[in-house]
């Protein structure tokens, strides 16, 4: 059995995070529902102390941290990127460091401590070309809880690329705000925002990918399984932006990722090749979902028709009938498999009511972790 997670964070005594390490360890000890897999750990030297905002310093010494192993080498260029647009833009060490930070800040908020205010005096501009309950509330609440102020800009407020050029939107919002989040249709829009904004840009979702969701998913998997590396994630459904983001993560972190989808609904070929060519993960595409889920750590589903595809609903429901995650499919996965869904779910179609309400469904923890993962992403972009 792998050694339990144990982090010792050395903090200034007056820091609001002084008890964060023990709170985080307690949180994880309660979250793990089964023993960790056996993991061979190399000796991991401690990273140098980093200033994490006014009032505290953190120097985390991981004695046997299977979930969050961090390299002690100097931060690479990838860790200093301005924007969070693709998970694969960052190296493994940076991704795991962000997830560690997410778990720590989550533990702090769970404890009821509201003294930690790293975003105090900062503003977040939130651009929504696509509506979303989870994205808006998780960003707005999370930024507020950590001391910042978030501004909602809906489809009628900007009409980016129509009423106003994306380049101009990026430059103007950069003059008013400290960071920009955008949830848009075209992936080029987020690329243009990142190119022309002088402040950090966070990808809240595009038709191509959804990196914040997958960071929340990764945090959730670590909480319940004990580690991310080597986990067998079986996605059942449409080869959409969620799949693309999992593939991009698999190009950075070793995973066993399986996408079970009907023929003709596979994910983007170049993204699949990127994940495979990285040579660190096992990537499988199949049209046999019941065979795919055997031995899964996680069975993951999403809507069959994404936003912008609603005219295809009837056609897609016919094509995806055999890809519904039901109780029989979860039995094939095994009693230790968890069910995940990024929500909103169309109950009775891609997943049955019984599965989403079952004890091994972790979809609502997944939804909560959007806030914590996003807070950690923004802290990283701020250099906190």
Q: Mind telling me the catalytic residues?
A: 342
d(CA 325, CA 342): 14
Q: Which residue has the tokens 């997830």?
A: 99
Please report the sign of the dihedral spanned by the C-alpha atoms of residue 309, residue 310, residue 315, residue 318. Answer: positive
The three-state (H, E, C) secondary structure of 167-189, written as one string: HHHHHHHHHHCCEEEEECCCHHH
Residue 128 structure tokens: 């929504």
Residues in the chain: 384
Helix (H) or strand (E) holding 62: strand 57-62
Q: Strand ranges (DSSP E) for 228-271? A: 232-236, 256-260
How many Cβ atoms are within 10 Å of 69's Cβ, its own excluded?
18
Name the strands in the sheet holding 57-62, side by side, starting at the edge strand that comes first in the sequence: 7-10, 57-62, 50-51
Q: Can you tell me whether residue 313 is helix, strand or coil?
A: helix
Phi, psi of 84 (to 5 degrees): -120, 90
Helix (H) or strand (E) holding 289: helix 289-292
d(CA 105, CA 111): 10
Task: Give Cβ neighbours of residue 197 (< 8 Å, ≥ 6 apart).
Answer: 83, 170, 171, 173, 174, 180
Residue 341 structure tokens: 């869904």
In angstroms, the Cα distances linking 215 to 169, 319, 365 are: 27, 30, 13
Name which of 335, 325, 209 is nearest 274 in CA terms. 209
Residue 287 structure tokens: 């049209």
Name which of 10, 33, 23 is nearest 109 in CA terms. 23
Report whether 338 contacts 217 (CB < 8 A): no
């Amino acid at each position: 059995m792998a050694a339990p997670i144990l982090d010792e964070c050395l903090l200034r005594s007056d820091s609001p995070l002084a008890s964060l390490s023990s709170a985080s360890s307690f949180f994880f000890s309660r979250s793990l529902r089964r023993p960790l897999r056996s993991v061979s750990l190399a000796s991991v030297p401690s990273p140098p102390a980093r200033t994490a905002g006014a009032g505290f310093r953190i120097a985390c010494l991981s004695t046997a941290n299977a979930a969050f192993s961090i390299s002690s080498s100097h931060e690479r260029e990838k860790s200093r990127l301005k924007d969070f647009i693709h998970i694969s833009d960052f190296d493994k060490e940076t991704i795991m460091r962000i997830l560690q930070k997410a778990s720590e800040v989550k533990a702090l908020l769970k404890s009821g401590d509201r003294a930690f205010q790293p975003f105090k005096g900062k503003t977040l501009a939130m651009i929504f070309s696509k509506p979303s309950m989870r994205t808006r509330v998780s960003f707005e609440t999370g930024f507020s809880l950590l001391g910042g102020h978030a501004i909602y800009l809906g489809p009628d407020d900007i009409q980016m690329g129509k009423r106003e050029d994306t380049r101009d939107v990026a430059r103007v919002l950069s003059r008013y705000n400290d960071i920009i989040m955008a949830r848009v249709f075209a992936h080029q829009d987020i690329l243009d925002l990142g190119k022309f904004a002088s402040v950090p840009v966070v990808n809240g979702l595009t038709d191509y990918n959804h990196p914040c969701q997958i960071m929340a998913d990764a945090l959730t998997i670590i909480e319940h399984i004990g580690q991310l590396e080597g986990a067998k994630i079986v996605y059942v459904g449409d080869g959409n932006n969620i799949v693309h983001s999992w593939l991009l993560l698999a190009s950075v972190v070793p995973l066993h990722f399986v996408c079970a989808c009907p023929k003709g609904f596979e994910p983007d070929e170049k993204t699949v090749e990127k994940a495979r060519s990285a040579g660190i993960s096992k990537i499988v595409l199949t049209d046999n979902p019941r065979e795919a889920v055997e031995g899964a750590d996680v069975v993951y589903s999403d809507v069959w028709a994404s936003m912008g595809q609603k005219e295809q609903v009837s056609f897609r429901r016919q094509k995806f009938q055999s890809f519904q995650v039901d109780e029989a499919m979860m039995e094939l996965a095994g009693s230790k498999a968890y069910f995940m869904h990024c929500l909103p779910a169309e109950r009775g179609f891609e997943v049955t009511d019984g599965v989403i309400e079952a004890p091994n469904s972790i979809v609502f923890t997944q939804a909560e972790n959007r806030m914590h993962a996003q807070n950690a992403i923004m802290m990283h972009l701020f250099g906190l």
